[in-house]
């Protein structure tokens, strides 16, 4: 299986720099155009279907991609939903450190649970779809944690993913391999995975 994990298009909260998490903010017009541009780039290769997180911004991104490249839109996967940031959702990212220096937001989904949940999503998608080429639209923090769980790195060291960017994975011999991260070759990204944590990467 070849699978592209795609971050949803832009929302008004993305544009304003607000923590989004599971708050169901829709795409804005820029986000819809980003989805169309991403679909045009993805159309250069054959794909079998598109699935997504159940949140509206991911679902609409998936719908735009599916209709643009002419492939079926599959059911949403709850495991692809974004990390729950609890009390911090809606807060400007620039204000997080002043309000929560340890990022210990009330009602937050624990960081250590996000990567394993992402892996469960990938495993269920693989069981449901078999040896296909699949697109899966999800969320920046979920994708980073899933990639980190595969490669054994700290998710906070992964680069922040642009809206509508793709990270390619291959599933062979019962294991996942990361090929690209946000369009960059994993071999290039790997050089920075043991560096210091950049707080800007934690925006979700």
Residue ranges at the known binding site? 7-14, 57
* Residues near 83 by beta carbon (within 8 Å), at least 6 away in sequence: 21, 22, 108, 109, 111, 114, 139, 141, 142, 145, 204
| Catalytic residue annotation | 8, 82
- For the stretch 60-63, contacts whose Cβ atoms lie closer than 8 Å and that sit 24 or more positions apart, written own/partner, are 60/8, 60/9, 60/26, 60/27, 60/31, 60/32, 60/35, 61/6, 61/8, 61/9, 61/27, 61/31, 61/35, 61/137, 61/164, 62/135, 62/137
Provide the annotated binding site for substrate: 7-14, 57
């Amino acid at each position: 299986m070849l699978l592209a994990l795609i971050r949803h298009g832009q929302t008004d909260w993305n544009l304003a720099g607000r923590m989004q998490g599971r708050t169901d903010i829709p795409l804005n017009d820029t986000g819809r155009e980003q989805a169309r541009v991403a679909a045009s780039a993805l159309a250069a290769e054959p794909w079998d279907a598109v699935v997504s997180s159940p949140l509206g911004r991911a679902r609409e991104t998936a719908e735009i991609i599916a209709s643009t490249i002419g492939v079926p839109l599959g059911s949403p996967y709850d495991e692809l939903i974004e990390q729950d940031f609890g009390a911090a959702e809606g807060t400007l990212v620039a204000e997080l450190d002043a309000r929560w220096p340890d990022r210990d937001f009330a009602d937050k989904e624990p960081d250590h649970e996000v990567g394993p949940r992402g892996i469960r999503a990938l495993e269920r998608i693989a069981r449901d779809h078999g040896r296909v080429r699949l697109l899966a639209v999800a969320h920046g923090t979920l994708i980073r944690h899933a990639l980190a769980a595969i490669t054994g790195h700290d998710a906070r060291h992964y680069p922040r993913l642009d809206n509508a960017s793709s990270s390619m994975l291959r599933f062979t011999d019962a294991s996942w391999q990361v090929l690209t991260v946000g369009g960059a070759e994993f071999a290039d990204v790997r050089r920075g995975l043991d560096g210091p944590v950049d707080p800007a990467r934690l925006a979700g």
